[in-house]
Amino acid sequence: MFGKRSSFGSGGSPTHADASAAAKSQPRTSAMPSTPVPSARIAPPPPPPPPEPARRPDEYYVTKSMIFGALIEAIDLSQLSKLDSESAREEIRDIVNEIISLKNVVMSISEQEDLLDDICNDVLGFGPLEPLLARDDIADIMVNGASRTFIEVGGKIQLTNIRFRDNAQLMNICQRIVSQVGRRVDEASPICDARLIDGSRVNVIAPPLAIDGPTLTIRKFKKDKLTLDQLVKFGAISPEGGEILKIIGRVRCNVVISGGTGSGKTTLLNCLTNYIDADERIITCEDAAELQLQQPHVVRLETRPPSLEGTGAISMRDLVKNCLRMRPERIIVGEVRGPEAFDLLQAMNTGHDGSMGTLHANSPREALSRIESMITMGGFSLPARTIREMMVSSIDVIVQAARLRDGSRRITHITEVLGLEGDVITTQDLFVYDIVGEDPQGKLIGRHRSTGVGRPRFWERARYYNEEQRLAAALDASELVDRAAR
């Protein structure tokens, strides 16, 4: 065991006040006072989204509905399911063409092709969702009943022209999606979490709970997961800050990634896990498996909702507790939202250095109070001070992610947890993001700056892992950049 959880060299961990003062008073070079400056690192603009198809007239849906009905009568669905998708498509094409000529439907060739695509998607896939699922630039798909579907592209939400025939068709598709992972959604169990085969995270809430029709939310799985280098390229973090994050991942700091909904927490967690050594045994616990670790020795665990009878649920807490009996070296919790916070801290504190988790909070300080309240509300009757002591001795770094009002995603803080001063947990920012203005297009202008901390608290840990030089170089470089910016 190594780190705050044990003692470095002689004398154990210093008190917080000492640590803070020591960190500031032991500059590697010269600790620079930090002040916001008006120069900026501006992210390259995101690629333009593909053009949206024009909104279809209502007659299109009437015609499609008529042809679809005739197709379903003419086709043997059980035979169709035995064919591969190309042959099934050919079969549908022949029958649809026949129906079009029999019913004297007037259509151009391109309209016929569109209609055929739509019908194939309905019969073979997820209907109107298919074109959205095929796009890799979409982060979220949000279906609010049959006639309104929104997507999030480039951090901004927009309405699409996608429509379902009716709520019954939408419900059918929801059912088809969740049944792929052995779950069901209907009036009796109207809430369901699931996953698409490609790894996209899915939530369905159906009537009567959702008043305006089945509501489906999909966090699209990105085929090419973002890397830390890409986050640097997008301006989510400065190159020096990125380097420090890589070191934090490598030297087994216990990390909490905090952020609001869709701020990029899971992405960041995935990035950090890239720097875990290949020979470490990693166990991941998630509600819906989203993480994609590249290491060879990973065990992936997923929670289970209760059955229709309300039995058989396996909670995140059950998983984290079980992890401890699986000889983990690192435990990664996709999202901490309840009493499992206690078990994760225990794990961090008992030799599973380098464990990580994400949670919903708007600042590093709020992240700390969220953890405390999750533990208190979990029914652990521990005095507040004991919980805080536990937090201080287990969490090394809090990384804060945010989606800003212009839709951009930024890492706004890299903050160390230092210690307890009285009853207050003290922290120290290493990197922060300052917003310094807004360009005429409404894009926020800002820059990451180091706070001039001479020696981070995890300095000794970096030394132990032989990353001391790299850490010093990254801190020096960030100070140089700051000086140049001033």
Ligand X SMILES: Nc1ncnc2c1ncn2[C@@H]1O[C@H](COP(=O)(O)OP(=O)(O)OP(=O)(O)O)[C@@H](O)[C@H]1O
Which residues of the shown chain bind ligand X in the complex (CB under 6 A)? Answer: 139, 219, 222, 226, 231, 234, 236, 259, 261-267, 409
195 binds, among ligand X, Mg ion, none (CB under 5 to 8 A by kind): none
267 binds, among Mg ion, ligand X, none (CB under 5 to 8 A by kind): ligand X
Give whichever of 259 and 456 is closer to ligand X, judged by the CB atom: 259
Which residue has its beta carbon closest to ligand X?
264
Half-sphere exposure of 258 (CA within 13 A, CB side): 22
Give whichever of 225 and 297 is closer to Mg ion, judged by the CB atom: 225
DSSP character string of 394-457: H--EEEEEEE-TTS-EEEEEEEEEEEEETTEEEEEEEEEEEEEEE-TTS-EEEEEEE---SS-T
d(Cα 163, Cα 17) in Å, to the nearest integer?
Answer: 60
Give whichever of 108 and 261 is closer to ligand X, judged by the CB atom: 261
Which residue has its beta carbon closest to Mg ion?
266
Least distance in angstroms from the C-beta of 366 to ligand X = 15
Least distance in angstroms from the C-beta of 6 to ligand X = 32
Task: Tell me if 282 sits within 8 A of 273, measured CB to CB.
Answer: yes
Q: At a CB cut-off of 8 Å and minimum separation 6, what does 122 contact? A: 68, 128, 169
What's phi and psi for 48, nearest 5 deg? -65, 140
Q: Report CA Rg, the chain.
A: 26
Least distance in angstroms from the C-beta of 53 to ligand X = 22
Give whichever of 13 and 266 is closer to Mg ion, judged by the CB atom: 266
Three-state SS at 142: strand
Least distance in angstroms from the C-beta of 290 to Mg ion = 6
Region near Mg ion per CB under 5 A, out of 248-256, 264-272, 338-346, 414-422: 264-272
d(Cα 403, Cα 242) in Å, to the nearest integer?
Answer: 18
Give whichever of 187 and 198 is closer to ligand X, judged by the CB atom: 198
Q: Which of 261, 256, 271 is nearest to 226 (CA)?
A: 271
Least distance in angstroms from the C-beta of 403 to ligand X = 8
Three-state SS at 234: coil
Give whichever of 264 and 456 is closer to ligand X, judged by the CB atom: 264
Least distance in angstroms from the C-beta of 347 to Mg ion = 20
454 binds, among Mg ion, ligand X, none (CB under 5 to 8 A by kind): none
Contact flag: residue 266 with Mg ion (CB under 5 A): yes
Give whichever of 213 and 264 is closer to ligand X, judged by the CB atom: 264
Least distance in angstroms from the C-beta of 356 to ligand X = 13
145 binds, among Mg ion, ligand X, none (CB under 5 to 8 A by kind): none
Residue that has been written with the tokens 């022209």 in this structure? 161
Task: Tell me if 210 sits within 8 A of 237, measured CB to CB.
Answer: no
149 binds, among Mg ion, ligand X, none (CB under 5 to 8 A by kind): none
The residues that bridge with 447 in the sheet, in sequence order, are: 434
263 binds, among ligand X, Mg ion, none (CB under 5 to 8 A by kind): ligand X
d(Cα 137, Cα 344) in Å, to the nearest integer?
Answer: 34
Region near Mg ion per CB under 5 A, out of 208-216, 262-270, 338-346, 390-398: 262-270
Least distance in angstroms from the C-beta of 284 to Mg ion = 13
**Site size for Mg ion, by CB under 5 A?**
2
Give whichever of 287 and 353 is closer to ligand X, judged by the CB atom: 287
142-158 burial, b at 16+ Cβ within 10 Å, e below that, comes to bbbbbebbebbbbbeee
d(Cα 108, Cα 114) in Å, to the nearest integer?
Answer: 10
Residues that bind Mg ion (CB under 5 A): 265-266
